[in-house]
Amino acid sequence: MCRRGADVTIDIMYGDEFSEVYVSYYEGQGKDYAAEAEDITRLIRERTPGADSLLDVACGTGAHLRRFNQLFAHSEGVELSEGMVKFGRVHYPELTLHQGDMRDFHLGRKFDAVTCMFSSIGHVGGPDGLDATARCFAEHLVTGGTLVVEPWWFPENFIDGYVASGVSEVDGRKMVRLSHSVREGDATKITVHMAIADAERGLRHVTEVGLLSLFEQARYEKAFAQAGIDAEYVEGGPLGRGLFVGTRR
C-alpha cells in the first residue's frame, strides 16, 4: 500500500478504507443483498430440498451472508481480504467468517450449498486458479449439494474500454465511483477511483487496480466437471452476468 496525502492506492477489494465503504456504496446504488440471498436460497432448495447449511466463498464483509445466516441453520463465510473480514467480524459478530484464499482453503466440513457471488471468481488468477477453486468448492459440498457461482463476463461479452460511474449517499456519507475496464491478455484490468466525503472525516480518495480473468463458459463448466460438479449456465442473475448452478456428484 502506498499513500500520497489524502490519496490511497490499494489492491482491489483489500484495503480497510475500501472495505468500510464497499457495501454502503452498492446499497446506495440499490443493490439488495438480502433479496439476492433469498433468490439464491430458492434456487438452492429447488435442487437440494431441505438444504440447511451454506458456505459463502469470497463473502466480502458478509453482506449476502447476513441473510443466508437467517435462512440456513448453519452458515459460514470465507474471504481473502483481511480488511473485509475484520470489518465483518466487528459489525456482524453473529457471522462465522474465515480468512482464506478461495483457491486453497480447508474448513474440515461439508455444506449442503456453496455460493460465490458478485463475480468474485474472476479473481482466481487464471485457469489453474479456476481449477483449484472448483476443487475447493467440491471439497466442501455434500454429495447432491448445490453450487451457485456468479461469473465475471465471458470474453465475448466484455466491452473493452468500458467506463462506469455512480454516486451514492448513505447516512450522510457521499461516495462517487468511476471505473475504467480494459482487456489485458485473458483478463480484465479494472481501475476504480472512489471519492468519499463525510462531515467527520472530510474528503478522501481511494484508487483500486485489479485483474479479473476472462473465462469462456465452457472453461468454467470444464473446471466444475473435473471437480465432480455437474453445472449448467442460467441466464440472468443479480447483475445480468448469469449464474452457474451445479450439483455435486
| 120 and 66 share one domain | yes
Q: Is residue 173 part of a domain?
A: yes
Q: Using CA atoms, how far apart are residues 186 and 89, in angstroms rounded to an integer?
A: 35
Kindly state whether residues 145 and 65 are assigned to the same domain.
Answer: yes
Q: Is residue 160 part of a domain?
A: yes
Answer yes or no: is 133 within a domain.
yes
Tell me, yes or no, whether 46 and 169 share the same domain: no
Per-residue confidence (pLDDT) for residue 10, from 0 to 100: 31
Split into its structural domains, the chain has a count of 2
Closest of 156, 164, 220 to residue 183, by C-alpha:
156
pLDDT digits (tens, 9 = 90+) for 161-200: 999 999 999 999 999 999 999 999 999 999 999 999 999 9
Residue 51: give its domain's CATH number. Answer: 3.40.50.150
Do 148 and 159 reside in the same domain of the chain? no
* 221 grid coordinates: 463448466
Q: Note whether residue 26 is domain-resident.
A: no
CATH number at 192 reads 2.20.130.10
**Contact predicate 113/142, CB 8 Å:** no
Are 234 and 196 members of one domain? no
Average pLDDT, the chain: 92
Any domain includes 126: yes
Cell, residue 229? 460438479
Phi-psi region of 38 (alpha: psi -120 to 50; beta: other; left: phi over 0): alpha
Domain-located, residue 116: yes
pLDDT at 6: 35
Residues 140 and 238 both lie in one domain:
yes
Q: Are residues 137 and 162 in the same domain?
A: no
pLDDT at 15: 58
Residue 225: closest CA among 156, 130, 155, 116: 130
- Tell me the pTM: 0.92
Cα–Cα distance, 105 to 100 (Å, whole number): 6
- For position 140, what pLDDT does the model report? 98
**Same domain, yes or no, for 143 and 187?**
no
> Which residue ranges of the chain lie beneath pLDDT 50?
1-14
Same domain, 244 and 133: yes
Tell me whether residue 118 is in a domain.
yes
Give kind and range of the element (H or E) at residue 82. Answer: helix 82-91
Q: Based on the fold, state whether residues 71 and 165 are members of the same structural domain.
A: no
CA 8 to CA 103: how far, in whole Å?
28
CB atoms near residue 5 (< 10 Å): 7
In this structure, the answer to whether residues 133 and 165 fall within a common structural domain is: no
Q: Which residues of 162-185 are buried (b: 16+ CB within 10 A; e: fewer)?
A: eeeeeebebeebebbbeeebeeee
For residues 10 and 38, membership in a common domain is answered with no
Residues 60-91 have pLDDT tens digits of 999 999 999 999 999 999 999 998 999 999 99
Residue-range definition of the domain harbouring residue 171: 2-14+155-213
pLDDT of residue 19: 77
Inside any domain, residue 25: no
Max CA pair span of the chain: 54
